[in-house]
Chain A
Amino acid sequence: MCLPLKDYNLTYKPVGEKAMLIEWPEEIDDAILEDVIRFRNSIRKTLDEDCELVPAYHSLLIIFPKKTDTEQVTRKFRSLYPERKNKPLKRKLWKIPVCYDEEFALDLTLIAKEKGMTEAEIVKLHTEGTYTVYAIGFLPGFMYLGGLDEKLFAPRKDEPRPKIARGAVGIGGKQTGVYPQESPGGWNIIGNSPVRLFNAAREKPCKIKIGDKVQFYSIKKAEYELISIEAAAGVYKIKKEKWYD
C-alpha cells in the first residue's frame, strides 16, 4: 500500500551534555519533513516522558532531562531508524480566516505596487496556497509556513517594526505566517487573523502541529469582529479537516 521508505543519510551530533541533534540532508522538502516526523514518532516511544523532542525542517533535537551518554544514544537511534513505521502520518488541514482590509494590511499596497499586481490579486494568491508547517518556534505558537507562491516572495523589511499586532499575517522572504502575539518583527504585514493560535490556559496550548497543512481564507471586517469576540471567549474553533497525501 505504501511505497518503501527512503533511507536518508543522517548525522548525529551531541549538543552539550544532554541533547542530541539528528540532521537530514540540508533541504526544505516535504519528504524530508515527513521523515523527520516519522522518526520523531518512533524515537518518542522509546524515551521517558520527560525527554523533549523539537523537530524542524530537516532536523530533530532530543533533549534529555539529565546528562546522557551520547555515544550510546547514537547507537540506539541508528539501529532504530530503519525500523520506523511506514504508515501515513496523521495530519490536519487548518483553515485560518484572515481579514486583508487596509486597516490591518500595513504593507499590502506597497507589495502590490512592487509586484505590479492589484491588492486583490495578492490576496487571491495568498488564499489559494496550501502551506506546510515546517517548524514552530520564534514565539510560542509561531508557525514557519512553506509553500508560498514565488510571485509573493518579499524580503524582510530593513528595519523591523517594534510592535506587530497579535494575529498579523505576514510574508518574510519565501515564508508566510501569523504572529501569535504582539511582538517586534520584520515581515511584510498583509492582513490579520482573529483566531488565537496559542493559548496558555489550554492544556494543549497550540493545536496546530509540525507537518500539518494550513490554508487562509479572506473574511470581511464584520466577520473578523465576530470571530474576535468568540476567540477571546475561548469558544471559536479553527476549522479543520483530515489531510490525505
Chain B
Amino acid sequence: MIKVAKPGFYTSVQDTGRTGYRDMGVPVSGAMDTFSAVLANRLLNNDDNAAVLEITMTGPSLEFTAATHIVLTGAKMNPVVNDVDMPYNRVIKIAPGDALSFGKLQKGFRAYLGLKGGLKTELVLKSRSLYTPVTPSARILEGNTLPYEPFTGDIENLIEIKIDNEFLFDTRIEVYPGPEYGLLPKADIARLNTTGFTISAQNNRMAYQLEERLSPNDLSIITSATLPGTVQLTPSGKMIVLMKDCQTTGGYPRILQLTERSISVLAQKKAGDTIGFHVI
C-alpha cells in the first residue's frame, strides 16, 4: 500500500470517471488532464481506466510498502525517490520502503502518479474517483493508506519513448461553439478569438473562472445539461469553464465547448496564467 505521510496541497485518486449517473445529478469526475493520466497508464501497460493519483500544485510525501512500478506525467514538480531525482514519462521500479516526495512546482499545475495495476481504493458507483458527497472525502489525507497489488516483474517499456506532451503547456486552446454561441453579440465573438483571458483564483476541479469579462447580458436559458469543458456565461459577462467535477445541469448560456485536449491543457493552468481561445 501507499502510506500518505503528507497529502500535499490537493491530491486525489482519479480514474476516467464515474459514468452512468449523470441523469441523477452525479458529476462524471475523473482526471482533470485525461491526456497525462491515460499516458501514465499506457506507459505501465495498465487499462486506461486504472486509478492514478492526481497531484495539484504541491506534491505529497508517500511511502510504498510493497514492490511496484510507477511513472509520473504532467506538471513538473521536482520529484525525488529516496532523495534521487525521478524522471518524467519513464517507468521506474519501487522497492518496499521507498519514499516519493516533491519539490517546487516548475511547470504546469497537475502531475499524475501511475502505478502498476492502478490503485485499488474503494469503488463507489463503479469508479474510484474521489468526489464528495459520493465519496466521504474529495482528496487523500495524512495517514491514509492506499492499497495496490504488489508487482515484482520487469519493466516492459524498455525502449525510450519520445512523448510529445509539450502541447499541455500551450496558451491557446481550441474550442467549439457551444449551443448558445449564436446568442453572443459580434463584438464578444471577436473578443473571444483575440483577447487573452486570465485564470482567476476561483479555479478548482469543478470550474475555472476567468478574470476578463464579455459584455453584461440578460441571456438566460431553461436549465439544461452541461459537460466538462462547457463555458458558461453569467449575466455580468463572467465566463466559467466547467471542469470534471462540474454539476450536470445549469441555467447559464453555454457559449463554448472545449475539446478533450483543451480540457487537459486548461487543467495545467493556475491562477494568473493566461489562455486564448481559438474557435473552430
Contacts and interface: CB of A to CB of B under 8 A. Distances in A.
Interface of A: 13-19, 21, 23, 26-28, 50, 52-61, 63, 65, 134-142, 144, 181, 198, 200, 205-206, 210
28 contacts: A15-B178, A15-B254, A16-B257, A17-B260, A26-B221, A52-B23, A54-B225, A56-B222, A56-B249, A57-B222, A57-B223, A57-B224, A59-B224, A59-B225, A65-B19, A135-B249, A137-B25, A140-B24, A140-B25, A140-B26, A140-B134, A144-B249, A198-B25, A200-B133, A200-B135, A205-B24, A205-B26, A210-B23
B225 A61 contact: yes
Contacts of B133: 139-140, 181, 198, 200
A62 B117 CA distance: 32
A56 B227 CA distance: 14
Given A14-B176, A15-B179, A139-B247, A206 B22 contact: no
B245 to A, nearest CB: 11
B125 interface: yes
A205 B124 CA distance: 11
From DSSP, what is the main secondary structure of chain B's interface residues? loop
B227 A137 contact: no
For the complex of A and B, the 8 pairs showing the least CB-CB separation, nearest first, are: A137-B249, A61-B225, A206-B24, A54-B225, A16-B257, A59-B224, A137-B248, A181-B133
Contacts of A141: 24-25
Interface string B223-260: 11101011000000000000000011110001001111
A21 B176 CA distance: 14
From DSSP, what is the main secondary structure of chain A's interface residues? loop
B174 to A, nearest CB: 10
A11 to B, nearest CB: 9
B106 to A, nearest CB: 31
A222 to B, nearest CB: 28
Contacts of B224: 21, 23, 56-59, 61
Contact of B225 (A18, A21, A142, A206): A21
Contacts of A137: 25, 223, 225, 247-250
Interface of B: 19-27, 124-125, 133-135, 176, 178-179, 221-225, 227, 229-230, 247-250, 254, 257-260
A200 B249 contact: no
Nearest to B20: A52
B25 to A, nearest CB: 5
Contacts of B20: 50, 52
B249 A54 contact: yes
Given A13-B179, A15-B179, A21-B179, A54 B135 contact: no
Contacts of A57: 222-224
Given A56-B224, A61-B225, 16 more contacts: A15-B176, A15-B257, A16-B257, A17-B259, A21-B179, A50-B19, A50-B20, A56-B222, A65-B19, A136-B23, A137-B248, A138-B249, A139-B247, A140-B27, A198-B133, A200-B135
Contact of B25 (A26, A50, A63, A139): A139
Contacts of A55: 23
Nearest to B124: A200
Contact of B134 (A19, A60, A200): A200
A142 B221 CA distance: 19
Nearest to A28: B222
A177 to B, nearest CB: 11
Contact of A26 (B134, B222, B229, B248): B222
A198 B178 CA distance: 30
Contact of B24 (A15, A59, A198): A198
